[in-house]
Amino acid sequence: MKAILFVFLGGGLGSVLRYLISKGLNIDNSIIPYGTFAVNVIGSLLIGLILGLSAKGSLLSQNQTLLLATGFCGGFTTFSAFAYENQQFLKSGDFLSFALYTIGSFILGFLAVFLGMYLVK
């Protein structure tokens, strides 16, 4: 039950922060949804750092990892919004934005995870 509470608290905090960032950065008629893009790349960096610290042994407890990685990063990042926004690009025929957003999100997301884990080494 304690693990569920940690995930719940972290997820709530992450979701609120995602909402605030997305509200501030997602601008109508921009080439990509910068808020969603930013939270997904930042979240990728954070999960790389968190799981890197967790893998080092006793630097983070299991509860801290649940709070931060599963809860906070899970609530902070958003694949569903990413998928919906890409569906909207395809529906409107905006293939350039679709390609830039999709490729940029995948490449920078993966690089951010690797960077986070590398920084912890």
What does the pLDDT read at residue 14? 98
pLDDT single digits (tens) 12-23: 999 999 999 999
Provide the pLDDT for residue 59. 87
Phi/psi region, residue 26 (left: phi>0; alpha: psi -120 to 50; beta: rest), is beta
* Average pLDDT of the segment spanning 55-62: 87
User: pTM of this prediction?
Assistant: 0.92
**Number of neighbours of residue 4 by Cβ within 10 angstroms:** 10
Q: Where are the domains of the chain?
A: 2-25+33-120
Question: What's the token pair of residue 102?
Answer: 């999709």
